[in-house]
Amino acid sequence: MIETCLEGFKKIFGDGGEIRSFFAPGRVNLIGEHTDYNGGHVFPCALTIGTYACVRKRDDRRLNFYSLNFEDLGVISLSLDDISYKKEHNWVNYPMGIVATLKEDGMEINQGFDIVYYGTIPNSSGLSSSASIEVLTCYVIKSLYGFEIDNINNALIGQRAENNYIGVNCGIMDQFAIAMGKKDHAIFLDTATLNYEYAPIDLAGAKIVIMNTNKKRGLGDSKYNERRAECEEALAELKTKVDIASLGQLTEEEFEVEKHLIGSYVRQKRAKHAVYENQRTIKAVKALKDGDLALFGKLMIASHDSLRDDYEVTGIELDTLVSEGLKQEGVIGARMTGAGFGGCAVAIVKEENVDDFIKNVGAAYEKEIGYAADFYVVEIGDGPREL
């Protein structure tokens, strides 16, 4: 993959000077959805698919961006003297958000660079191609200019870029999972405190299968910010009588006692998902530690049901993949993953059943939806690095 990126770089920008190569993964969240901005727990892992970059410093203040995934857009050439957000800059707003955030933090970037990106994460799949670009760009710039930025700060810089520059009110999960990825481990992260632990993933002869709806969506245009606002409003109503800083601090029982404080049924449902999903995530990690993969699978299924019924972020495409997936032999659990409204679902499937699973679910999905889904059998990989 890096050879493809390097060839692309030389073709676009020539092969003189020092060209450096980098990689940052995508991520999948096994359980704990829409909890990260509600002060709850998440359980994501980094993947071996992700984003590659080849880069070379320039002597002037030009920033030249090119993506092998968006070749029709050509080279997008900007200047360090104007780093403001512009819609027409398209995907380049993600790396530019990092440049702007670093400059805001007082890090002087006085020389520009030529950079080519090549992503193996499907666009709009919900496997965090945007966060992968953000973490990768931060890692590249840190390495090029000698900045001291550890991986946790890399994640925080990426989140701030997404919140303040892109305008998507995301939590910390995506950037954290990518920046802190560890091979064969998922990250059990308390998003309220950033306390985390690595949990080894032993699937005992099963595989992680990602199912892509191929329904395009944009987070900024979706109802993502609306869901976040509904949760914030529900939290404010609870705080009139309950001493909490986030929905993630409540148990299911505490929520049931206090939910009458939330003035609308819709907001009650949103808050219920945040509370119950957080507790499911805690239980799921314990189940995995206990070697109880069957319970982990049941909690994945309950997570999807809640995302469908209480949070209402699934839609016919994701629901079809999950419901058809759960009919197949050898399936331990399945759920939507990511923000929803399209994107991907994730399933844990016994290795000997994976081929039939993909064939059967693919056929049922195409019959129901009218176009094909894509399937990826993925491995858990490490975080960002220079190659």
Which residues carry out catalysis?
174
8 Å CB contact between 317 and 308: no
The yes-or-no verdict on residue 26 having pLDDT over 60 is yes
Identify whether 268 is part of a domain: no
* 295-324 tens-digit pLDDT: 999 999 999 999 999 999 999 999 999 999
Question: For 27-70, what is each residue's pLDDT tens digit?
Answer: 999 999 999 899 999 999 999 999 999 999 999 999 999 999 99
| Dihedral in degrees, nearest 10, Cα atoms 66, 166, 211, 368 | -110
Instruction: Determine, yes or no, domain membership for 320.
Output: no
In a domain, 217, yes or no: no
The verdict on residue 342 lying in a domain is no
pLDDT at 124 (0 to 100): 64
The CA distance from 92 to 104, in Å, is 18
* Domain extent at residue 22: 2-200
- Packed helices 354-369 and 316-326: angle between N→C axes, nearest 10 degrees: 140
Give the CATH number, domain containing residue 182.
3.30.230.10
pLDDT in tens, 69-78: 999 999 999 9
- Cβ(247)–Cβ(278) below 8 Å: yes
Q: Is residue 85 part of a domain?
A: yes
Q: What is the mean pLDDT of the chain?
A: 93
Q: Are 58 and 114 in contact (CB under 8 A)?
A: yes
d(CA 373, CA 168): 26
As beta bridge partners, residue 349 has 207, 331
The model's pTM: 0.89
The contacts of residue 134 (CB under 8 Å, 6+ apart) are: 94, 95, 97, 98, 157, 158, 161, 162, 175
HEC string for 39-103: CCEECEEEEEEEEEEEEEECCCCEEEEEECCCHHHCCEEEECCECCCCHHHHHHHHHHHHHHHHH
Kind and range of the H or E element at 25? strand 20-29
Count up the domains in the chain and report the number: 1
Q: Please, are residues 271 and 34 in contact by the beta-carbon 8 Å criterion?
A: no
Which region holds residue 239: left if phi is over 0, alpha if psi is between -120 and 50, else beta? alpha
**Is residue 217 pLDDT above 70, yes or no?**
no
- Judged by DSSP in three states, 191 sits in coil
Report helix, strand or coil for 308.
helix
Helices then strands (H, E): number in the chain?
A: 11, 13
The answer to whether residue 39 is domain-embedded is: yes
Q: Is 31 among the domain residues?
A: yes
Q: Which of 365, 383, 364 is nearest to 373 (CA)?
A: 365
| pLDDT confidence tier of residue 348, bands split at 50, 70 and 90 | very high
Residue 337 in domain: no
